[in-house]
Chains A and B, each alone.
Chain A
Amino acid sequence: MDLTFQLFMYVLAAMVGLSLGEQTFIKGGIDQDLRTDGRKRLTYRPIFVETGIIPQASGSARVKLGATDVIASVKAELGRPNPSYPDKGKVSIHVDCSPTAEPSFEGRGGEELSTELCSALERCLLGGKSGAGAGIDLSSLCIVRGKVCWDLYIDGLVVSSDGNVLDALGAAVKAALSNTAIPKVQVSANAPSDEQPEVDVSDEEFLQFDTSGVPVIVGRHYIADATTEEESQMSSAVSVSINRQGRICGLTKRGGAGLHPTVILDMISAAKHVSEQLMNKLDSEIAAAEACDEMES
């Protein structure tokens, strides 16, 4: 099944095109397991994490994956839980694609990509409607059943995009969440709650999750962590979100070409393998970033 000629221009319309020779070079590289910058098919670019960059937010992080640069921030506010899920908190995710990333993102140009990234992240972090299998454990956000809960507002900003924005966003959200400090709330016995905020450092209430985007088949092989040029040649992509226990939290398939089921299973197992390494790398980077942060403050 040759998917080489089903090119899917993945939204980044203002991107510079590639000549036939360059396209052949990229595809041949992927076939021979030596991409244009020397990476193997499943190798990630070096990741660079900075935490605590937005002091007004409850938690924030900036992640650089090669030339892709994203910022995520978490804001925690008190709110009422959803009546159908009285013992769960709420999480709302929003992604904004800044025009600094691509000129085409100006005004409403970036909206399509934003909504797509938004829904992909939601699927990975929040799981199904009941919250089962989610990356974030919503019941830990509850304060008083049916009355008060924490609302987390997670915002992502794409500052510069060079492929694989979804992974960078996932990593940034993870780093931001591990940087989040939510105040302790004391509920007085009588009427609606009184808060006595005490800052609780390093909130760890969520399951450690991880997203691995595994862009598919440029030719007959699949690669992880594509650059913009490689993404322009891809026909479809599968993003798999895996938590620390190796379970899948969410799965998104993007792109216009159809895939054989065995290919998807292959990619899921590849994603599991890749995500372990990525998780460890991310954890060490986040720890280093937090240590740096503490030293400075």
Chain B
Amino acid sequence: MRGLQLSLDKGQKLRFERAFEVLESLSSKSNSDASVIVADDISVNNEDSILKGHGTAEMNDRLVATLCGVVERVNKLVYVRPLRARYKPEIGDIIIGRVIEVAPKRWKLEINFSQDAVLMLSSMNLPDGIQRRRTAVDELNMRSIFEENDVICAEVRGFQHDGCLHLQARSQKYGKLKRGQLLTIPPYLVKKRKQHFHHLDQYGIDLILGCNGFVWVGEHVEVRDDMIEDLSDKSEQQKVKSWNTMGDEEVQEAYTLDTRQNICRSANAIRVLSTLGFTITVEIITEIVELSKSMDLDVHEMLGAEFYVIVAEKEAERRSLPTKRR
């Protein structure tokens, strides 16, 4: 609950603390033997040959934790997985990044990681959709695809031998994100799921939960799948959609008040959840947006003290319900 600065009155404080007590009591039932804090002993059977992984250190013949976290054991490897860690990329992760530099044949993106990620020109679909070799002209026109400060959604392709992260954005669902707002939340609040792209139909908005802690909330954009398209239609569509001019006009169109309200409500829901430190999933976000709508709260009041308390209570309630499926 870092940085939580709310002026709660007596009643609200009580309810808030009670909700958090409930949450703490629920969480400590599982995993309490595996959680360690710094300098705790990790119980190992000294006869087995154990590999000492991250977050452990040997002191005086004992294995001691150097991080606060949960002890994980994989075959012979013992390591401590920290609870609040910097984002750790894995292959196949969906992430959102911001272009900070246009370099020869690649874009450098900032992704809330210790290094900047690289998106190669060859890992990106060309505007005309044809699969061909990238020429020097393509390289010169890189800025027409992505510029500095653009927000891009991509997938982690792999690591280079020097630790540099490579991304790819070949599918139609990846690419530049135009209409909406970008939020930054602590990366450990976004768990790896099957789906990170969510289309909230009832609100008409797109929600992309990047694994690196960048979350995009924006107006819904229709995604055309190249494979399904008829080849005969393609030439027509190319005439209709030319990247440069159409792109700007699309961006400048006004939002309807409804869509904007929904976007702001979802964004505020995410802000509240991230300040309270609750894991973020689409279900929770939709619940909170519904809650705020049913309470007839002004969008701005979602960031007020009362709503925080209500969200905390609701979460405590939700977790104390018997979990039917995980």
Tell me the A residues contacting B by CB distance below 8 Å: 16-22, 24-26, 28-29, 31-32, 34-40, 43, 46, 48, 64, 67, 285, 288
Task: Please tell me if the beta carbons of A25 and B149 are within 8 angstroms of each other in the complex.
Answer: no
The CA-CA distance from A264 to B300 in the complex, in Å, is: 27
Binding site for A on B (CB under 8 A): 3, 5-7, 98, 110, 147-151, 176-182, 218, 248, 251-252, 254-255, 257, 260-261, 264-265, 267-268, 271, 298-305
Given contacts A24-B251, A38-B265, contact A43 B300 (CB under 8 A): yes
Query: Chain A residues near B271 (CB, 8 Å)?
Result: 37
Contact yes or no, A34 B299, CB < 8 A: yes
Find out whether the CB atom of B248 lies under 8 angstroms from the CB atom of A46: no
Report whether over half of chain B's contact residues are helix, strand or loop; otherwise say mixed.
mixed
Cβ B7 vs Cβ A22 within 8 A: no
Give CA–CA (A26, B179) in the complex, Å: 10
Please determine whether B268 and A21 come into contact, CB atoms closer than 8 angstroms: no
CA gap between A25 and B302 in the complex, in Å = 20
In the complex where A32-B255, A38-B298 touch, is A21 in contact with B177 (Cβ < 8 A)? yes
Decide if A25 touches B267 in the complex (CB within 8 Å).
no
Closest-by-CB residue of A relative to B247 is A20
A32 touches B149 (CB 8 A): no
Cα of A288 to Cα of B10 in the assembled complex, Å: 12
**Cα–Cα, bound, A52→B57 (Å):** 44
Contact: A38 with B149, CB < 8 Å?
Answer: no
Cross-chain contact A20 with B251 (CB below 8 angstroms): yes
13 contacts between A and B (CB under 8 A): A19-B178, A20-B150, A20-B248, A20-B251, A22-B181, A28-B254, A32-B254, A32-B260, A36-B181, A38-B302, A38-B303, A46-B304, A288-B7
Chain B: CB-nearest residue to A29? B260
With A34-B260, A38-B299, A48-B5 already in contact, the answer to whether A22 and B255 are too (CB < 8 A) is no
B179 touches A25 (CB 8 A): yes
Q: Report whether B257 and A37 are in contact in the complex, using a CB–CB cutoff of 8 Å.
A: no
Give chain A residues whose Cβ lies under 8 Å from the Cβ of B3.
67
In the bound complex, residues from chain A placing their C-beta under 8 Å from that of B303 are 37-38, 46
Supposing A37-B267, A64-B5 touch, asked if A24 and B179 sit within 8 A by C-beta, the answer is yes
B150 contacts A46, C-beta separation under 8 Å = no
What residues of chain B lie closer than 8 Å to A40, measured between beta carbons? 300
Contacts of A28 in B (CB 8 A): 254-255, 260
Which of B150, B268, B302 sits near A19, CB closer than 8 Å?
B150
A25 touches B180 (CB 8 A): yes
- Is the beta-carbon distance between A38 and B178 smaller than 8 angstroms? no
Whether B5 and A18, one on each chain, are in contact in the complex, defined by CB atoms closer than 8 angstroms, is no
| Residues of the B chain whose Cβ atoms lie less than 8 Å from the Cβ of A46 | 6-7, 303-305
* Contact B300–A19 (Cβ < 8 Å): no
**B149 contacts which chain A residues (CB < 8 A)?**
16-19
CB neighbours of A24 from chain B (8 A) = 179, 251-252
The smallest beta-carbon distance between B264 and chain A, in angstroms, is 5
How far is the CB of B56 from the nearest CB of chain A, in Å?
Answer: 32
- Alpha-carbon gap, A64 to B6, bound state (A): 10
Please name the 4 residue pairs, one residue from A and one from B, whose CB atoms are nearest each other, closest first: A38-B299, A21-B178, A17-B149, A38-B300
The CA of A17 and the CA of B98, in the complex, are separated in Å by: 9
Say which residue of A19, A20, A67, A285 sits within 8 Å of B7 (CB atoms). A285
Nearest B residue to A25 via CB reads B181
> Closest approach, in angstroms, between the C-beta of B189 and any C-beta of chain A?
18
Cβ–Cβ < 8 Å partners of B251 in chain A: 20-21, 24
Question: Given A17-B148, A21-B151, A28-B255, does the pair A34, B177 have CB atoms closer than 8 Å?
Answer: no
Which chain A positions have C-beta within 8 A of B248?
A: 20
Q: Are A39 and B252 in contact (CB under 8 A)?
A: no
Chain A residues with Cβ below 8 Å from B299 are: 34, 37-38
Q: Name the residue on A nearest B292 (C-beta).
A: A38
Kindly state the separation between the CA atoms of A200 and B226 in the bound complex, as whole angstroms: 77
Q: How far is the CA of A29 from the CA of B257 in the complex (A)?
A: 9
- Chain B neighbourhood of A22, CB < 8 A: 151, 180-182
**Min CB gap A113→B, angstroms:** 22
Distance in angstroms from B250 CB to nearest chain A CB is 9
A22 to B181, CA, bound (A): 6
In the complex, A48 Cα to B305 Cα: how many Å? Answer: 12
Q: Collect the chain A residues with CB atoms within 8 Å of residue B176's CB.
A: 19, 21
Least CB separation from A284: chain B residue: B7
A158 and B29 alpha carbons, distance in the complex (Å)? 43
Q: In the complex where A28-B254, A36-B181 touch, is A19 in contact with B304 (Cβ < 8 A)?
A: no
Taking a contact as CB atoms under 8 Å apart, the answer to whether A34 and B298 are in contact is: no
Residues of chain A within 8 A of B255, CB atoms compared: 25, 28, 32
Residues of chain B with a CB closer than 8 A to A32's CB: 254-255, 257, 260
B179 and A21 form a contact (CB under 8 A)? yes
User: Cα distance A16–B251 when bound, in Å?
Assistant: 20
Closest chain A residue, CB of each to CB of B254 = A28
Would you call A36 and B7 a contact (CB within 8 A)? no
Q: Let me know if A37 and B5 touch, CB within 8 A.
A: no
Task: Decide: A36 and B264 in contact? CB cutoff 8 A.
Answer: yes
Least CB distance from A44 to B in Å reads 10
CB distance from A165 to the nearest CB of B (A): 17
Tell me the nearest residue of chain B to A288, going by C-beta.
B7
Bound complex: CA of A275 vs CA of B252, how far in Å? Answer: 34
Q: How far is the CA of A25 from the CA of B6 in the complex (A)?
A: 28
A18 to B151, CA, bound (A): 8
When chains A and B are docked, how far (Å) is the Cα of A293 from the Cα of B142? 59
Chain B residue at minimum C-beta to C-beta distance from A285: B7
**Which of A21, A26, A35 has the largest number of chain B CB atoms within 10 A?**
A21
Residue among B98, B177, B300, B305 making CB contact with A39, cutoff 8 Å: B300
B98 & A16 in contact (Cβ 8 Å cutoff): yes
| C-alpha spacing A284/B145, complex, angstroms | 52
B298 touches A19 (CB 8 A): no
**What's the least CB distance linking B88 to chain A, in Å?**
22
